Amino acid sequence: MTDTRRIFRFAVVGTGVAVYYFLTYLGLLRLVGSPWIANALAFGTAILIQYIGQSVWTFGKPVMAPAQFGRFLCMIGIGLVVSSTITGVLGPRFGLSQPVTAGLVVIVLPVINFVILRLWVYREEKSL
Same domain, 48 and 79: no
Position 93 confidence tier, pLDDT thresholds 50, 70, 90: very high
Same domain, 69 and 80: yes
Same domain, 55 and 74: no
DSSP 8-state symbol, 125: P
Same domain, 51 and 100: no
Q: What is the pTM of this model?
A: 0.88
Q: Which residue segment(s) compose the domain that 117 sits in? A: 65-128
User: 27-59: per-residue pLDDT in tens?
Assistant: 999 999 999 999 999 999 999 999 999 999 999
Task: Tell which residue, 50, 51, 58, 63, has the closest CA to residue 6.
Answer: 58
Considering all CA atoms of the chain, what is the largest pairwise distance in Å, rounded to the nearest integer?
55
Considering its fold, how many domains does the chain have in total? 2
Same domain, 56 and 104: no
User: 104-113: per-residue pLDDT in tens?
Assistant: 999 999 999 9
- At 29, is the secondary structure helix, strand, or coil? helix
User: 52-69: per-residue pLDDT in tens?
Assistant: 999 999 999 999 999 999
Same domain, 23 and 12: yes
Same domain, 57 and 102: no
Residue type, 1: M
- For residue 46, give every residue at least 6 positions away whose Cβ sits within 8 Å of its Cβ, in sequence order, or none: 17, 20, 21, 24
Same domain, 43 and 88: no
- At 127, is the secondary structure helix, strand, or coil? coil
Same domain, 59 and 71: no
